[in-house]
Amino acid sequence: MLHSPRPVSGPPTPVPVVSVIIPAYNAEAFIGETLTSVIAQTLHDIEVIVVDDGSRDGTAKVVQSFPSVRYIHKANGGVSAARNHGVAHAQGEFIAFLDSDDIWHPDKLRQQVQAMREHPDSDLCRTRLSIKPADLPGIVSGQARSDAPHTLVPELGPSFIDPYFTTSAVMVRKSAFERVQGFDTSLRIAEDVDFYLRLLAGAPKIVLMTELLVYKRPVEGSLGDDSRAGYVQLLKVYDRFLAQHPDARLTLGEDVINRAYYHLHTALTLSHLWAGENRQARACAWHAMPHGPRWFVWKLILRSLLPRSLKQSISGLTR
């Protein structure tokens, strides 16, 4: 999973507190704005590493216009391999991930480091974020503060039910990243959820920053658009996690596990219904039956049996 470092472009730096890892693929359009938000951080003791995952556009030229940024080019291997490759070069105590089109509040890293140091038994910190363009100006021009407001998620259960942490909002200890051997490069989808669950199995407490510190840019054609494939992969990730971490199953309890599986199976059912795949929807609905309220599952099954014209009429009336 992790790879040995190779020579990279960019000036040598003292040992930093935070290593910022930015995977990039054909990111010319937005990566300049992303890097500008990183350079503007109030925490200066950082290193910034961009891993160009085989881009064919002008990504390299844009990145290399930032003298303090370390640029690594590698053959295309996917986002997990790119992140792992970047961490293999990282020297920081903490690792902060950032997608090549997202934007940070200037005080993000400083607040996260302060909060993480207040809780040495936590290996993961995440922040609030927005996908609303109207929030972007306020995030970019945000002011530094002397404190680091946050709350704690002390147990694994809430994260198991809702592990969809935007990677650009996440900071982890490098030692924890190395303990779980980084991202699984065999996964095309749900690699982030797989990583979070494996990391939290060893140290479940999460530090959750309460201020809005990240802007997540909506991008068409992202993997998140393929919801059916995503839910199928998530189910496999959950199955493997529970099989490999029997202690986590005991800690979570069957109620929490059932809630998570019920959500995944019903969400997959709905995805099939929206795509007009009624037979597949019914098959998925049956899998949801043992995990939660059956009335809602029956409602989904009945919906799958309706003629398309009637479903469209009902949908129009309920909008």
Q: Which two tokens stand for residue 220?
A: 């068409």
Residue reference for tokens 């400083």: 110
Q: What is the pLDDT of residue 8?
A: 40
Q: What is the pLDDT of residue 288?
A: 96
What phi and psi, each to the nearest 5 degrees, are found at residue 213?
A: -125, 0
Residue type, 5: P
Q: What radius of gyration, in Å, describes the C-alpha atoms of the chain?
A: 21
Q: What is the value of pTM for the model shown?
A: 0.89
Distance, in Å, from the CA atom of 299 to the CA atom of 261, rounded to the nearest integer, reads: 18
Output the tens digit of pLDDT for each of the chain's 319 residues. Answer: 544 333 344 444 578 999 999 999 999 999 999 999 999 999 999 999 999 999 999 999 999 999 999 999 999 999 999 999 999 999 999 999 999 999 999 999 999 999 999 999 999 999 999 999 999 999 999 999 999 999 999 999 999 999 999 999 999 999 999 999 999 999 999 999 999 999 999 899 999 999 999 999 986 544 344 588 999 999 999 999 999 999 999 999 999 999 999 999 999 999 999 989 999 999 999 999 999 999 999 999 999 998 766 555 555 544 4
Distance, in Å, from the CA atom of 46 to the CA atom of 235, rounded to the nearest integer, reads: 37
Q: What is the pLDDT of residue 306?
A: 85
Residue among 92, 76, 99, 120 at smallest CA distance from 16? 92
Q: Which two tokens stand for residue 283?
A: 């098959």
SS3 label, residue 89:
helix
